[in-house]
Amino acid sequence: MIKFYKFLFLLLCCFSAINLFSFTSDSLRLSIKNSKSVEQKINFYLDIGDNFEFENPDSAIYYYTQAKNLSFENIDKSEKTKILYIVSIRLTGFIYDNLGNYEKAIELFQKTIDIIIDFKNNSSEEFKEQLNYQLSSSYSNIGSTYTNLSKYDQAMIYYQKSLKISEESFKSNNKQIAFDALKGIGKSHNNLGIIQLVQKNYESALEYFEKSIEYKTKVNDSLGICACYNNIGVIYLQLKEFDKSIEYHNKALKIYERLNDIKGIGSSYSNIASIYRITKKSRGYWGWDPVI
């Protein structure tokens, strides 16, 4: 009976998510028709694309392309349209990366880099700082794609390029740019740590993750901190230091519970249960043998 109610709850959640997704997309389409400026219309196209990112990648690409075309048509009207043009191409790259078309993803990410460098040639210092944020993101995107391709040396190069730009941007007098740069520094350290982790350079990986936590704490990136805790938990699992591994997964769990992040809570319980199962202590934690 309990299993039935769990199934019913999940089913209702799915229907609710579908209805909300449909409502949001329809609402945004209506907003496009009623938008009063080109920039607003482009942003609505991007928002609709975001809604379709995982549910319907082809539709996401369509709306990102609409945003790209409209921003290109108005490319000289404002610096904002230039940024939106870059973002629309970069988000399309995300879709291809998610679809496993890594060659196309890298092509699009590289295209954004070329565009940014071109824009920077005749731009104000203030606009150059905004472009640097996009440049750092594009380098990071390529690093992520190379990670997916298991080309770790190339991934490291692009993550380090991203980190370097973020460190330079952190010196900006613009508080928002400096704040975004700080987030970028934290993200880069986590990405570099992941590369070291998969290459079994555990000591180096641990240093990167701990540094990432330091920066993510400064920008109050709770979910980012959880990701680092989980990654450190994986390191200690590989080192067979099971108590430490559980300790870090529990740290992530506490944050997920505070945020009421159901997916994160479930993931943490699964990670902890897996470790207890490995160490033959699953009954001591769960009270029953978990199904993993």
Classify residue 151 as left (phi > 0), alpha (psi -120 to 50) or beta: beta
Question: Nearest to residue 253, comparing CAs of 242, 268, 263, 243?
Answer: 268
pLDDT value of position 9: 37
Task: Please give the CATH number for the structural domain made up of 27-231.
Answer: 1.25.40.10
At a CB cut-off of 8 Å and minimum separation 6, what does 204 contact?
Answer: 193, 196
- Written as six digits, the tokens of 133 are 């944020």
Measured distance CA(90)–CA(108) in Å, rounded: 6
Report which of residues 173 and 23 the model is more confident about: 173
Report whether pLDDT(6) > 70: no
Report which of residues 36 and 173 the model is more confident about: 173
pLDDT value of position 220: 97
Measured distance CA(143)–CA(160) in Å, rounded: 9
Sign of the alpha-carbon torsion through 29, 138, 222, 290: positive
On whether the CB atoms of residues 60 and 53 are closer than 8 A, the answer is yes
pLDDT value of position 3: 43
DSSP structure class, residue 287? S
pLDDT value of position 186: 97
Q: pLDDT-derived band of residue 12, with 50, 70 and 90 as boundaries?
A: very low
Which whole-number Å values give the CA distances from 47 to 43, 55, 77, in the listed order?
Answer: 6, 14, 21
Residue appearing with tokens 């330091």 = 214
As a whole number, the mean pLDDT across the chain is 88
First to last CA, the chain: 21
- Written as six digits, the tokens of 216 are 């993510």
Question: Nearest to residue 28, comparing CAs of 63, 73, 80, 77?
Answer: 63
pLDDT value of position 122: 85
pLDDT average, residue stretch 136-146: 97
Tell me the one-letter amino acid at 138. Answer: S
pTM higher than 0.85, yes or no? no
Where are the chain's structural domains? 27-231, 232-292
pLDDT value of position 279: 84
On whether the CB atoms of residues 90 and 50 are closer than 8 A, the answer is no
Neighbour-count burial of 91, counting CB atoms closer than 10 A to its CB (0-12 exposed, 13-18 middle, 19+ buried): buried
Question: Nearest to residue 255, comparing CAs of 236, 235, 229, 275?
Answer: 229
Report which of residues 277 and 16 the model is more confident about: 277
pLDDT average, residue stretch 21-37: 61
Measured distance CA(84)–CA(82) in Å, rounded: 5
Tell me the one-letter amino acid at 43. Answer: N
On whether the CB atoms of residues 233 and 278 are closer than 8 A, the answer is no
Report whether pLDDT(248) > 90: yes
**How many CB atoms lie under 10 A from the CB of residue 77?**
13
Rounded to 5°, the CA angle 166-172-178 comes to 55
